[in-house]
Amino acid sequence: MNLITATGLTKIYKRGSEEVRALDGVSFSIEKGDIAAVTGPSGSGKTTLVNIIGCLDNPSSGVLKIDGNEIFKDGASFSESELTKVRRKFFGYIFQKFFLLPTLTVKENILVPSVFQKELTVTQEKINEVLEILGIARRKNHLPYELSGGEMQRVAIARALINSPEILIADEPTGNLDSKRSQEIQEILTQLNKERKITIILVTHNPEFAKIGNKKIEMKDGKITVEN
């Protein structure tokens, strides 16, 4: 069964009297276990699309179904509290800017999502597990400024995994990294997909990185030009 189905998703931003069609009737589906690589020029709507898939933003029209639930339908949506539940149950998010809190240690940063989620109790085992997966156990008590860029992104990935999400949304996760660090992140994401069956939606400018996707979504001017 499709994990994610989008039908005719449209997002219109209004700037005064001018309208920007950031998404213009986009339809596709993603199956459980896919790595979907989203590519396309700057401004083509990639971030808009993955933010809507991740329920961080709402479409102006169209339907988004996640695991059979109609989250957005023709301008209507789940309530904010229902959206919060969907985000917590299904999604982990990784961004180009790592968004680590500078005064918190690695371990504390990883625990940030649990501070906002009453129902998410994180065991010491879970913390150790994500630290081990990302190879940052030695860095547990370090502050972000003591880390390399690659390590910061691995902390951000560990944080995204703390609620055991089914789907990882990664928007240009290696955009701030050199090619060696970028390669490490590619391997980590591939491994998470293979070993833990996490579905990954990856936005990248890097054609080599996009190759880890078994599915390709190419965008231009708010439309999908290639889906395979």
Q: Which does 226 bind (CB under 5 to 8 A by kind): ligand ATP, Mg ion, none?
A: none
Joined together, the tokens standing for residue 41 give 């020029």
Q: Which does 62 bind (CB under 5 to 8 A by kind): Mg ion, ligand ATP, none?
A: none
Angle of helix 106-115 relative to helix 124-133, nearest 10 degrees, comes to 120
Residue 210 DSSP SS3: helix
Binding positions for ligand ATP, 45-64, rule CB under 6 A: 45-48
Closest to 2 in 3D by CA, of 86, 68, 57, 77: 68
Binding status of residue 115 toward ligand ATP by CB under 6 A: no
Closest to 8 in 3D by CA, of 71, 60, 69, 66: 60
Q: Which is nearer to ligand ATP, 46 or 87 (CB)?
A: 46
Q: Applying CB under 6 A, which of residues 1, 17, 18, 42 lies at the interface with ligand ATP? A: 42
Q: Applying CB under 5 A, which of residues 5, 39, 44, 47 lies at the interface with Mg ion? A: 47
Determine the Cα–Cα distance for residues 186 and 181; give it in Å rounded to an integer.
Answer: 9
Distance in Å, CB of 213 to Mg ion, minimum: 17
Q: Which is nearer to Mg ion, 88 or 205 (CB)?
A: 205
